[in-house]
Every structure is written in C-alpha cells, then in structure tokens.
Chain A
C-alpha cells in the first residue's frame, strides 16, 4: 500500500534581502495511511514550510515529496484534489459572506456540484454545531467558530489526508479541547483519515498523535511515538565539546564507543572544532571519551552539557 506522505531529502531555502535562510534541511520522512502524525517544534522550526510544500503552495528547493502517491511538483493538481488544509490563520474566509456561503463557494472549487455542495455543507455545519450561526456573516464569528469552520472547509470534499497547521492556535481551553477530541475521534477514529498536525503544544502532541517528528532549525531531529520521544529525552544527555584546532576523523572514532549514541560536528574552523556528543546514559563523558581525545593529542577547550531547548522542553512539559 502506498504511504500517505513520502519526502526524500526535502530542503527549502528562502532568499531574503539579507541572504538566504534554510527553512528545511534534508527532511526524509514517511507517514502511513490512517496515521495521526505530529510535527513538533518551536516557532521557525520549519513545520509550516513543510506543510506548505506538501500542499503545493511552495515549490521545494531540492529533494522530492509525494502526497497520496502524487508528486507535489509534477502533479500539483492531483495532490490538491486529495488533501484538505486547515490554516493557522483564522482570517482565511470572506468576512462579509456567511459561513454557509463561504463553505458552498469552497465546495464548488473542490468540484462538488451545487446540490452536493449544499448537502455536504449542511451536514458538516450540523456536525460541528455551527448550524445556528451558519447564516450570519463570518466576521461576527468567534475564533473558535472560525477554526471549526476552517476544519469544516478542509473536509468538504472528503479528502483522505488532512493537514492541520496549529489548529487550536488562539482558541480558549474548552474550545481547543473540544476540537482535539473531535479531530482524534472523528477524523482518524471513525473516518480513517491520515492527519498531519503541526503544533508546539506538547500536550496536544501527546493526546493526538500516533507518531511525532521533531523539527528544529529545519532539520528533522527525531521521529517516534510521543511516549518514546519523551522517554528518550529523559535519558539522553548531549555534551558540547569545543576542541582546539581543525579535527578530522573524530566522529567515526566516537561512534565506535558503546557509550556514545551519536556525534556531530556543529562547526569547524582552523582554530576550533565544535562537536555535539549524545551519550547513551545521563552520566558525563566517561574515560573512553577522554582516552580517544588524548590518543589524538586533541586539546579540549571546553566540555559542558548542551542546553538543548527541545529536549528541555520535552522534559519539562512531559505529562508522564
């Protein structure tokens, strides 16, 4: 069976007046059909950029992506017909039109006949408890009602895949909770749809998602179930080493040590090499690490636990 979403070395680079910004870097990811997948990360991590590429609003700089088996660059029309996108921006409707008029307009753009558009709109308005407000202008709707209508719009043509870009942003606690339970129970539980959700709300991620991808600075740092990722965050310690000189071949030597899970050169100049070392337990780097450095006559300028914002966030906010 085809995966719902596949990306391969996907990257995107925004050019600005001051230079360029790597919004996404080498993202390779597969999301299976029927999965509720979350993209978790701080603001600017690249979550929205990834969703926009997958919904054909942005053409990626390099790499490839397919959605429901269709390539996002070569077959954008077929991709769009098979997805629904819930925007984080609540002002994405025609404010002077009623909720019903807005939905019937978008239903027509999704190839529904006038009769089918009316029927589907009425059905969804009823499901989301919006029938009473349906014939009032959109500009009189509360944030919660607009977000519900946003979800309703994404479901009009009954697509198999839904993108939710921070769907509870700006909503009060009760409205957000009501929307979350509806998303989980209805979209995935009853209708079997695939959902890709972006959020920086850890509780939302834990409550809704089967699997989560952690994005940071445009890079996919980890993928797994929320429970696994939180467990891993609690047992993982990253040390940052500042080494004198331009050091080569050290990463491979570190990876041979049983106490080192991963090693990555962060930056390198002739005078200084900065390297992140992820250990398999929470203790400080053991003697084997120092022996490896000593064997190569490498002077250590500084060694300290790295303040990893995301890991700290996962640890602090974990409900487990």
Chain B
C-alpha cells in the first residue's frame, strides 16, 4: 500500500516545480481555453455541412469538445511517465529519490502525479467553459458511465506510459515512437470525426487503439446518456486492454530497472 503522504509529497513537489515557471503555468491553462474557442469556431464553420456519420451523436461542438479534451488528457497519460522521468534524470534527482525509503516503482513514477492531476483540473475547466460559454449539451449525460470508461482508459494508457518510462530508464531518451501517439490519437482515434468515416483499412487500425473505443463510448455516455449496461462492449474491450497492457508494461519496467541497477547506469543521462 502506497502511503498517501508520499503521493501528496510528489504532487506538491510537482505543483511547486510547475508553478515556478509562471508563464508556462499560465500558458497551459490559457491554451486549454483557446482550444475550446477553436472547437467552437470549427463547429460553427461546419454547422450546415455535417456528415451523416455524426447523426448518432448530436451536435458537432460537443462531439469535438469530448474528443479533444479527453484525447489531450489521455495523451498526457500515455507520455508523461517517460517525460517526467527524463526530466528527473537530467536534473540528477533520480538517485537521491531512489535511496529513500520509497519503493522504486513509486520513486520513478511518482514525479508524474502532478501532471495527471493538473490534466484533470484542466479537463474540468474546459468542460465547464464548453458547457457554460459555448452551450455544449450534457443534459442527457450519464456521468457514472463516463467516469468508469475514463478510469479504464487512463489505466490502460498509463500502461503505455509505463512502457515509455521503461524505455527512458533503459535508453535514457524518450521513446522515439512517441510521435506515433499524437498521430494515432488525432488521426485514427476519432478526435475530430467518427471512426466510422475512415476507410475500411484505417478503421480496423483505429479499433486496435483503446482510445477509439474510449472516445466512442464516452460520447455515447455524455451526449446520449447511454448507461453502463448499454456500453458493456466498450467496458469489456477497455478492460481487455488493461489486462494486457498493465502487467506487460510493469514487467518491462522491472526488467529495465534491474538492467540499469546491474549496469550501474541508473543515474546516467
């Protein structure tokens, strides 16, 4: 069991560090708001030319808001472990943390906690602005189904993030395939348009990604009020991704840690 005091210490440390870069800190939230404005403009632009594939969901702005906001958060979830670990290695702080009475897994993954929490805060702000200022329609939303799908997605994508951390630990540089994350999220996973409009080959590829199922399920939950009972295929698929990704990534992480401890290269960068 991880003590709450240590989770709090990592979160506080992350907040203090992030907020010490004031312009960057403010910029993160400002860009989060600007994205919502961009979605509103885009939705208005296509107001009279929406494809039939959007019909099952509802209005395009709410569709974009859910896709864009969740995709950003999940993208952070997929990459932050590796990135934060890389920062710690560059700063020379990983070894001092690793010799404390803290488990190696928490010592290496804890630095990312603030990023996850900040992402949640930003997501809440974006949804609030989307609903209050731009009229996103969540009147039929089933929030409990959305929360379950979100949690399953976050844990599944954190599995990818742990793979990325294992890569950084072993090879000292961020995962060279991280660009693939953005491409797959924004092109294939249905952020700007439903997966159903993709050509057949790409549609198959899209359904190999947990995010495609997640965004589709979340839109049905938040826009049409679909319940967990109705969304069980999405829950099942995301659960399967968890069962595969999490143990595999933790195994890879353990192997990488063991390797650097034998090589004596834990603190190298």
Contact = CB atoms under 8 A, between A and B. Distances in A.
Interface of A: 12, 14-15, 23, 49, 52, 55-59, 61, 77, 80-81, 83, 85, 87, 89, 91-97, 101, 104-106, 108-111, 113-114, 137, 153, 157
Given A92-B92, A97-B17, A57 B9 contact: no
Contact of A106 (B100, B262, B267): B100
A56 B102 CA distance: 12
A101 B264 contact: no
A92 B261 CA distance: 18
A57 B261 contact: yes
Contacts of B267: 57
B48 interface: no
Contact of B99 (A12, A61, A83, A114): A83
Given A57-B99, A87-B96, A97 B13 contact: yes
A109 to B, nearest CB: 4
B12 interface: yes
B89 to A, nearest CB: 12
A-B interface, 8 closest residue pairs, ranked by CB to CB distance from nearest: A108-B9, A109-B100, A81-B101, A96-B20, A58-B264, A91-B92, A109-B102, A59-B261
Interface of B: 3, 5-6, 8-9, 12-13, 16-17, 20-21, 91-93, 95-103, 107, 258, 261-264, 266-267
Nearest to A53: B264
Nearest to B102: A109
B101 A52 contact: no
A106 B96 contact: yes
A281 to B, nearest CB: 41
Given A58-B261, A58-B264, A96-B17, A108 B92 contact: no
A110 B101 contact: yes
A56 to B, nearest CB: 7
A239 B26 CA distance: 71
Contact of B264 (A14, A85, A105): A14
B95 A94 contact: no
22 contacts: A23-B264, A57-B261, A58-B262, A59-B261, A59-B262, A77-B101, A80-B100, A80-B101, A87-B96, A89-B92, A92-B96, A93-B93, A96-B16, A105-B12, A105-B13, A106-B97, A108-B8, A108-B9, A109-B97, A109-B102, A109-B107, A111-B3
B206 to A, nearest CB: 40
Interface core residue of B5, B99, B102 (most chain A CB under 10 Å): B99
A87 B16 contact: no
B91 A94 contact: yes
Contacts of B16: 96-97, 101
Nearest to A60: B262
Given A92-B95, A108-B6, A57 B101 contact: no
Contact of B101 (A23, A101, A111): A111
Contacts of B261: 56-59
Nearest to B96: A92
A85 B17 CA distance: 24
Nearest to B106: A109
A114 B11 CA distance: 14
A110 B101 CA distance: 5
A91 B99 contact: no
Nearest to B267: A57
B91 A109 contact: no
Contacts of A57: 95, 98-99, 261, 264, 266-267
A96 B93 CA distance: 13
Interface core residue of B6, B92, B97, B100 (most chain A CB under 10 Å): B100
Given A94-B13, A109-B101, A114-B5, 6 more contacts: A57-B95, A57-B267, A92-B92, A94-B91, A95-B91, A105-B9
Contacts of B20: 96-97, 137
A56 B99 contact: yes
Interface core residue of B21, B91, B266 (most chain A CB under 10 Å): B91
